[in-house]
Amino acid sequence: MSDKPFTIPDDVATIAPSDLYDRLEAGESMSVLDTRAPAEVDDWRIDGDSVAFANVPYYEFLDGVTDSTLESLPDARPMYTVCAKGESSKFVADVLDEAGVDDVVAVEDGMEGWETVLSATELSADTDATVVQFHRPSSGCLSYLVVDGDEALVVDPLHAFTEEYLEAAESYGAELVAAVDTHVHADHVSGVRDLAREHGVQALVPEPAEARGIDYDLSYDTVADGETLTVGDVGVEAVHTPGHTSGMTSYLVDDAVLLTGDGLFVESVARPDLEGGDEGAPEAAGRLYDTLHDRVLSLPDETLVAPGHVSDAAERADDGSYTDALGDVAEAMDALDYDRASFVEFVLSDMPPRPDNYEDIIATNLGERTVDDESAAELERGPNNCAATTDAMTGN
């Protein structure tokens, strides 16, 4: 690797990360040229069905553009260059432009900018409430706003987007009155405490999760299994669904939408090892099987499953959200037909690496530590890996 310095030009064409996301969602054909070192790219990158992807580190361009480098570039245009912070990708875009490569655009602020993108989709669901799904594409995290009348509840809020939840509630003419997590998260920093401390929102914690040692530096209330929260005139029932964690709790909105957190995704089920480690994973996997069959699959088939994460394997519903009817999820996911022993064996057989910094994130979400925005972003950086397998469990 060369240590030769490079200059960052001021006149390079750039695109805001949110605008790039919109183009990806529209299915526009494009190339993404990632200029980070290969080890940084393997598990965490900007990609999609309409994307021709290539990874050529910026240091390959320090001495100009060679014929072999040109041959390694994707043909699709525009070509978006991206790096960690938006600097070396501008350099590469400029070098390519000087070499006569057309329509090269640098992504502003690189992957750090990509982390700031949050999209919102209103679910098409059989409920009097308005349910909005928020998607953070950099990690696949999903969070929800439940609105009825002049009240709103946010479920699984992310630390990085507390202002966005408040603004969304206001846009519906409602006040954000409460914030609740489905469980003690291991892949992102929760926004529950931030909303309570800075905006007076009621902080709620699943009662079964409190036993893990939650120790917030502010007052909070617990939500017990079977307890119903009221948002306007709509009921949101807490349903204890252990497996991913011992305290995992889903929320059934108006008997129509099940916010499943990390218990059940539309393309997979949860991994069971982030609380008890490898030693506790078999027991947790068995508990997950019991939960899915006794507490989730027993609900009506038309119940809409709205999960806490989504992978690249998931397909959007007709309304643009990452949701699916429970009956369709059950029909498509072969693992849900396994007997208990086979299910446990399958879930434990192909788990991806644990999320980066998961122990520090858990400690933060238990209230053992407080982090600022920059530290939270560093902890969360990378793939979430909260599913039981690296591949989709549907369509087998």
CATH assignment of 119-380, among 3.60.15.10, 3.40.50.720, 3.90.105.10, 3.30.420.40: 3.60.15.10
* Second-level CATH architecture of 14-114: 3-Layer(aba) Sandwich (3.40)
Apex 370 CA angle, 367 and 372, nearest 5:
145
Domain residue spans in the chain? 14-114, 119-380
- For residues 104 and 73, is the Cβ–Cβ distance under 8 A? no
Give the predicted TM-score (pTM) of the model.
Answer: 0.94
pLDDT for the residue 28: 96
Within the chain, which residues score under 70 in pLDDT? 1-5, 390-396
> Helix, strand or coil for residue 62?
coil
* Interval 331-389: pLDDT, tens: 999 999 999 999 999 999 988 888 889 999 999 999 998 899 999 999 998 777 788 77
How far from each other are the two terminal CA atoms of the chain, in whole angstroms? 43
- For residues 183 and 247, is the Cβ–Cβ distance under 8 A? yes
pLDDT for the residue 233: 98
pLDDT for the residue 149: 98
d(CA 159, CA 193): 9
Q: What is the DSSP letter of 387?
A: B
d(CA 2, CA 60): 8
Q: For residue 139, what are the CA distances in angstroms to 41, 75, 217, 388?
A: 14, 27, 27, 16
pLDDT for the residue 123: 98
pLDDT for the residue 396: 37
